[in-house]
Structure 1
């Protein structure tokens, strides 16, 4: 059986999950030691869409980023973080 391993990206957090090839839960280890960060998920999704378009299109990265940001329907917190990341 092919297994995928997902680990938490928060520094020092040892939580992880094992899922099968169909993304069905198998088991988990550890507990998160921090509060949830839903904005980070929103930003990861935005980043993935931008990367996908950058690879397949000839438009400028800035144009693609701005278009995806406009389409994204991000929460106000995630939107603030997105602008901060783009400026930095």
Structure 2
């Protein structure tokens, strides 16, 4: 959401609590509470956002996570060489210079 990444903290019948990825080591105060009841019409309704982020958003980090996830999923399902899959995903994406600077190399995946 808006360039921030959250981890699931608590999961209940009616709600799920998510905390900012920087909450533990940067003491970021942001928490999101949203509906998790599948019977609710709008299942992903946000009940509240508590606290303010103490850091800038990092949308490139979210794109890097998505890139790595795509590579991993393809490696699980395809017979192709993992390095070929990695290079193919790099070619398919239209990444900014900033993102290319933070994408891990094949050996650091």
Judge same fold: TM > 0.5, yes or no.
yes
Q: What SS does structure 2 have at the residue aligned with 1:34?
A: coil
In structure 2, relative to structure 1, the CA distance for the partners of 1:54 and 1:35 (3 Å cut) is: same
The answer as to whether partners of 1:4 and 1:19 remain within 8 angstroms in 2 is: yes
Whichever of the two has the greater Rg, that structure is: 2
The structure carrying a bigger helix percent of its residues is: 1
C-alpha distance in structure 1 between counterparts of 2:44 and 2:15, whole Å: 9
In the alignment, structure 1 segments of 5+ residues that lack a partner are none
Distance verdict in 2 for CA 1:36–1:62, change over 3 Å: same
Q: In the comparison of the two structures, how many residue pairs are matched?
A: 86
Unpaired runs of 5+ residues, structure 2, are 1-12, 37-42
TM-score, reference length from structure 1: 0.78
Instruction: Tell whether the 8 Å contact from 1:42 to 1:74 is kept in structure 2 after alignment.
Output: no
Cα RMSD for the two superposed structures: 1.9
